[in-house]
Amino acid sequence: MKRHLPALGALAAGLLLGLGALILPSPAPAGPGFSALRARAHLDALARAPHTVGDQASLEPVRNYLRAGLRAAGLNPGTLRHPEVTDRAGLRYPLENITASLPGRSGSSVLLVSHYDAVPGSLGAGDDGLGMAAMLEMAGLLARSPQPLENGVRFLFTDAEESGLLGARAEMERNADLYRDVNLVINLEARGVRGPAVMFETGRRNLATIRLFRKARWPFGYSFAPEVYRRMPNGTDFTVFQRAGLPGMNFAVLDDLSFYHTPRDHPGNVSLASLQHYGEQVLPMVRAYAADPALAGKGAFASGEDMVFFTCFPGILVSWSTRWDRALSLFLVLAFHGVMVWNLGRGRAKVAAIAGWFLAWTGLAAAALGAGAAASFLASRATGIPWRFTYMPNVPLERPMTWGLLLVVALAAYALALRSRARSALLGAMGLNLLVMAAMARVLPGGTFLFSVPLLAGFGSLVLADLTGRPRLALAGAGVAVALFVPVLHLVSLALTAGALAALLALAAVPMSLAAALAVEGPLRTR
């Protein structure tokens, strides 16, 4: 057992580092910065009672509070009224969007958006009380800024988002000229009541947008998320503005769907740490935008390429352009060939054995895929919850089931790696990760880092181990692979729920093959 401790210790260290990326800022007390404790008063008032488009009278207290809150912040709120519409439920009602502005000298503005309606029966504390409370808190802080704004900040609280994005659509269809100054949109949404406020959507060619996202104090986002979301049938107000050609970012908490769109979505169930996280990300970006003359004008966020980005530790966003990503991919292909030739020449591996291990690791991923599909199907049959790949919410014990199965995949990968007494297993795992990375570059370019970063760490740690004669250095690569994937797997499980267990487990099996092979490479390998 002792000889397994270094390997297991490296994997455990990676697990702890990965969990560290999910740490949220503590709710700040009232002060000069964003304060979730101060914004809590807005949340309590906005989510005091159900407020839905089907009961127009129930929306009036929310509208009045928003106007009063904007006035108290020093802004002059306005109401943008639109004629009656018929929503998808057949209900007819007029639309009222509430707006306010802090003008800047340049004539360009960022638009902050949240919606104030809730689904029937819900208090709407998470969806979208979190967004409204964060915007009111930021409005007060920005209005009290001693420095004049170079670029303006606008606030829009939309009506009837839950009924088909009707308030946002009315603005773009009827009032488009009012938004000619807007060159960036930041939408604050929620699909839960706790957890990180994930920046999950951007427009295409987002390089300049992500450069602004770097200004966030506690950024949390992954470049595969926007590309996955584009393929889903969901939509938010940001969808409307994006279709109108406006770049921007979309934020939402995703954790704990059991409260989402239910009567239990009330302030007592909302995490103030999550509310603080909205502010820690959005407010520094807005301040940076408002102070930078270079961000004025329609072309300020235009770019010819996207950014690959991911959160690795609390407050640290790693990013590079797709141009550099292609260069990194080429380097990894050359590195793989170099490492393979080096090991073949020294008799540490054989081509047939490498191919065999490639197939073995592929078989593990296929088995994980099948196990996940079976588990989600059985969960659907046992609970009566209809199976959908992208949305199968509120399965009892979903989280223990998910992480239990992920642990089984990790242990299976480790047990399989122990069966090899040469480098062939590691090279087979590297080959599989390289192939999946290449496929990802074609299908989901924002997800290449999921495999390129572990491969880079794997190659680097392996070369150092060989050059220094210290095989335990290979454990560092194993730890990096685990640390990167823990928050990713958590985010994917929250976003896609139990219906996507098959994809989740297969996704985990590929880097776990590399991590396991690296983990046993140092202290356990006999040469």
Tens digit of pLDDT for each residue in 195-220?
999 999 999 999 999 999 999 999 99
The residue written with tokens 């939509």 in the block is 235
H runs (alpha helix) in 178-236: 207-213, 224-230
**Range of weakest confidence among 65-69, 316-320, 390-394:** 390-394
Give the mean model confidence (pLDDT) for residues 228-236: 90
Using the predicted structure, report yes or no on whether residue 526 has a pLDDT greater than 50.
no
Amino acid, single-letter form, for residue 488: V
Q: Are 195 and 271 in contact (CB under 8 A)?
A: yes
Q: Are 336 and 434 in contact (CB under 8 A)?
A: yes
Q: Are 296 and 106 in contact (CB under 8 A)?
A: yes
Vertex 120 angle, CA 119 and 126, to 5°: 40
C-alpha distances (whole Å) from 437 to each of 370, 387, 408, 442, 449 are 21, 29, 24, 9, 8
Q: Mean of the per-residue pLDDT values for the chain?
A: 95
Number of H helices, E strands in the chain: 16, 9
Q: What is the pLDDT of residue 127?
A: 96
DSSP label of 499: G
Using the predicted structure, report yes or no on whether residue 19 has a pLDDT greater than 60.
yes
Residue 133 has which token pair? 């409370």
At 266-295, the pLDDT tens digits run 999 999 999 999 999 999 999 999 999 999
**pLDDT greater at residue 4 or residue 24:** 24
Give the mean model confidence (pLDDT) for residues 496-523: 92
Between β-strands 248-255 and 109-115, what pairing exists: parallel, antiparallel or unpaired? unpaired
pTM above 0.85, yes or no: yes
Residue from 152, 157, 177, 167 nearest 101 by CA: 152
At 76-133, the pLDDT tens digits run 999 999 999 999 999 999 999 999 999 999 999 999 999 999 999 999 999 999 999 9
The residue written with tokens 């340049």 in the block is 106
DSSP codes joined into one string, 454-492: HHHHHHHHHHHHHHHT-GGGHHHHHHHHHHHHHHHHHHH
Torsion on CA atoms 386, 389, 395, 397, rounded to nearest 10: 150
The percent of residues in the chain predicted with pLDDT above 70, rounded, is: 99
Question: What 3-state DSSP class applies to 508?
Answer: helix
Q: What is the pLDDT of residue 527?
A: 41
Q: What is the pLDDT of residue 436?
A: 97
Residue from 364, 335, 361, 329 nearest 442 by CA: 329
Q: What is the pLDDT of residue 525?
A: 56
Cα separation, 440 vs 155, whole angstroms: 38
318: β partners: 310
Cα separation, 304 vs 317, whole angstroms: 21
pLDDT band, very low/low/confident/very high, at 524 (cuts 50, 70, 90): low
Cα separation, 52 vs 119, whole angstroms: 6
Contacts of 30 by beta carbon, 8 Å cutoff, 6+ apart: 37, 38
DSSP label of 222: B
Question: What 3-state DSSP class applies to 219?
Answer: coil
Using the predicted structure, report yes or no on whether residue 62 has a pLDDT greater than 80.
yes
pLDDT band, very low/low/confident/very high, at 1 (cuts 50, 70, 90): low
At 157-195, the pLDDT tens digits run 999 999 999 999 999 999 999 999 999 999 999 999 999
C-alpha distances (whole Å) from 151 to each of 78, 147, 175, 217, 327 are 20, 12, 21, 20, 36
Contacts of 378 by beta carbon, 8 Å cutoff, 6+ apart: none
Residue 504 has which token pair? 């989740």
Give the mean model confidence (pLDDT) for residues 219-235: 93
